[in-house]
Amino acid sequence: MILQTFVEIPALDAFRLSLFSAGKKLAFVPTMGALHEGHISLVKQARQNADAVIASIFVNPSQFGPGEDFNRYPRTLTEDAARLAEAGCDAVFLPNLVTIYPDNFQTWVRNEVLENDLCGASRPGHFRGVLTVVLKLLNLVRPDVALFGKKDYQQWRLIEKMVDDLNVPVKILGGETVREPDGLAMSSRNRYLQDGERPAAVAISRGLKAALEKFRSGELKVQVLLDLASKEFAAQPTIKVEYLAICEQASLAPVKESISGAAVILVAARLGELRLIDNMELNPVG
């Protein structure tokens, strides 16, 4: 498939209008590039939900904090374009910095409840940057459907909430986390893993899986499930857990004592320079 590439807004508008006038549905997969199988599965899911698929690649400076990896974030445009084309993506939007943040840019989107919890606690301003860029991209692309990976669970929920609160006319879909054969959740930052760090990285998903399996066997007590996951992490001294929590799936409010509805266990941990996040949904059976 030939991948159309748009850098400027008028070319993107023309693409959008041609689909609109033909009555075709457009699905959108926003990314920061350095694409992996998780992104590709979103593109494939997008194909099943629309007539045409567009991705974007924009490494958004406002979602990186001071000292984070904005400058060294992997930029692999040629490989990304080839992977998108192969996955059946029709177009990619590659906005430049001034398109997204023109001079004198002043308006930011914030969620005043959820943005400082979980990942927001250690990444102040991160979700303000994410929500702002996502709203801008949605306004520029005007898709019918937009897809986000559930690996970034809090991000996905915050985007759903923004779209709902601000009446943005788009349907948000979440894509399942894609994992390496050893269980490690795919992430563009996995390439930062140093030799010898893999066993510790893999313990993150193993801990969550231990909790998930115990939950499936009928255990509902939050502390029991958290202790089980923590035991796996503690066996790897290089893992520094930032948070481990069981929350309600939709609101991300912490579940107290016992699980009674759809929940999710979420973790963020540091492994040397690398910060890893992962989660697994704890869905009630029956």
List all residues 6 or more positions away from 141 whose beta carbon is below 8 Å from its beta carbon. 12, 16, 26, 28, 54, 56, 93
Looking at the DSSP bridge assignments, the partners of residue 146 are 28, 172
Q: What CA–CA distances, in Å, run from 69 to 73, 146, 232?
A: 6, 26, 28
Selected binder of ligand PAF within 3, 26, 30, 264 (CB under 6 A): 30
For residue 149, which of 134, 164, 132, 168 has the smallest C-alpha distance? 134
Tell the smallest beta-carbon distance from residue 30 to ligand PAF (Å): 4
Tell the smallest beta-carbon distance from residue 258 to ligand PAF (Å): 32
* By CB under 6 A, residue 133 contacts ligand PAF: yes
* By CB under 6 A, residue 152 contacts ligand PAF: yes
Residue 57 tokens read as: 């690649």
* By CB under 6 A, residue 34 contacts ligand PAF: no
Tell the smallest beta-carbon distance from residue 163 to ligand PAF (Å): 13
Q: Which stretch binds ligand PAF (CB under 6 A): 24-32, 67-75, 98-106, 109-117?
A: 24-32
* By CB under 6 A, residue 45 contacts ligand PAF: no
| Catalytic entry in 39, 136, 151, 214 | 39
Residue 98 tokens read as: 């001034």
Tell the smallest beta-carbon distance from residue 107 to ligand PAF (Å): 17
Q: How many CA atoms lie within 13 A of 166 on its CB side?
A: 18
Selected binder of ligand PAF within 134, 163, 239, 263 (CB under 6 A): 134
Q: What CA–CA distances, in Å, run from 269 to 216, 242, 274, 277?
A: 24, 5, 8, 6
Tell the smallest beta-carbon distance from residue 57 to ligand PAF (Å): 9
Angle between the N-to-C axes of helices 126-141 and 9-21, in degrees from 0 to 180, rounded to the nearest 10: 60
Q: Which stretch binds ligand PAF (CB under 6 A): 126-134, 193-201, 203-211, 262-270?
A: 126-134
Question: Mapping DSSP to helix (H, G, I), strand (E, B) and coil, where does residue 216 land?
Answer: helix
* By CB under 6 A, residue 130 contacts ligand PAF: yes
- Is 36 a residue of the active site? no
Q: Which of residues 153-182 bind ligand PAF (CB under 6 A)?
A: 155
Q: Which of residues 68-107 bind ligand PAF (CB under 6 A)?
A: none
Q: Which is nearer to ligand PAF, 155 or 177 (CB)?
A: 155
* By CB under 6 A, residue 147 contacts ligand PAF: no
Q: Which stretch binds ligand PAF (CB under 6 A): 5-13, 29-37, 178-186, 247-255?
A: 29-37
Q: In what order do the strands lie in the sheet with 26-31?
A: 4-6, 91-93, 52-57, 26-31, 145-149, 171-175
For residue 210, which of 231, 185, 193 has the smallest C-alpha distance? 231
Tell the smallest beta-carbon distance from residue 215 to ligand PAF (Å): 27
Query: Cα(201)–Cα(116) distance, rounded to whole angstroms?
Result: 25
Catalytic residues: 39
Q: Which residues contact ligand PAF (rule: CB under 6 A)?
A: 30-32, 60, 63, 130, 133-134, 152, 155
